[in-house]
Amino acid sequence: MIPGEALIYTRADGVVYAQYRDPPHNNIPRWVIGGDPGGVARAQGELFDYLEWQDLCKLSMSNPTLKKLMDKLINTYYIAKEENQ
């Protein structure tokens, strides 16, 4: 934050952004300051938020196809994690 500089707040897809209003600082890209957790997660390049992950895990307990795919995903995650250490 730059003291004394005016900000513009905008909302898009459930995400609240801020950016500087006046030159020369208005060339600084906008940044996320809040909003819906799912929207913020997607704006920051994540697939989904923690609540959606919990829902996915819960659903996999009653859906055999999803459970099988989740098991493969977890195994792939551990293999990739081990290779990157």
- Is pLDDT above 90 for 85? no
Give residue-wise pLDDT tens across range 18-63. 999 999 999 999 999 999 999 999 999 999 899 999 999 999 999 9
pTM of the model: 0.69
Alpha-carbon gap, residue 35 to 15, rounded angstroms: 4
C-beta of residue 5 within 8 angstroms of C-beta of residue 28: no
Give residue-wise pLDDT tens across range 60-71. 999 999 999 999
Please name every residue paired with 31 in a beta bridge, in sequence order, or none if there are none.
18
